[in-house]
Structure 1
């Protein structure tokens, strides 16, 4: 994953992958068949991890509204400093591979759907508790929040600083008040 994340799919060579994975050529082909196979597996691992982490955070607090804010605080950290400059593997994959690659497109669409589902469920719980205005459409708000996260990751890649990112998050979360 690190090799693709740092170099992109097209610029990652087989020797780069073998070195990064500490595998021999034979072991690589036996496990993954080809470069595309390892790329799709790396993307799946990244996506599954992102969904799991987000779900854990959104269920970690008895206040769903606070949990949403906690999830955004994590995104501030991932979108600033050295980690922010590295960017998001999914965003980088989308820029490099879409719209031409249907398999990658389907994986990224699945990630965004699942993230939106997780945020929508947290919003519904918060609305039931009176923490968020029940008149707000949870699907629209969830899509807005996921868009904000992806935008933060792009800005982080461009060198946005932590304070600026935090200020943007505070503004983006105003609809929750």
Structure 2
């Protein structure tokens, strides 16, 4: 049995998740687990990045460029798949509508130090996701959390440069799930 066959067999027999990259697309990959394989064809249960089954993929073995396994992404997506129902629905969180010229400050203050929800803020066309940690009249600090729930440290921005909020969307619920999972792993 060669290396690729061992990886495929391990995924199939042990229900291990992996990511498959194909020659036809350098930008994207499929994450899931192997259902079956032969010398020519691989059958793969695909999952979305939110942990939901997304069909079965048949791919020629010769079209597989590389396989990622036992990495941060596949470990994280395995946890997301096991807990996909937790991110499917919005968390209970009320945020007051504000019709005021200081709307950004008012929303930031509602989010300040709230660790039960992750928000995304748009600054200069880029989104930064995490927990709002501090707010004053001119600036705010966000504890940035990446898409795998990893703490990326603190960033300070001017409130005037902020143009948009995304609060409690599915991407941020996934970040929060993974952030809390990682935090619990460090404790135990």
Which structure has greater strand proportion?
2
Q: More relative contact order in 1 or in 2 (CA 8 Å, sep 6+)?
A: 1
Calculate the TM-score normalised by the size of structure 1. 0.29
The structure carrying a bigger helix percent of its residues is 1
Larger radius of gyration: 2
TM-score in terms of structure 2 length: 0.28
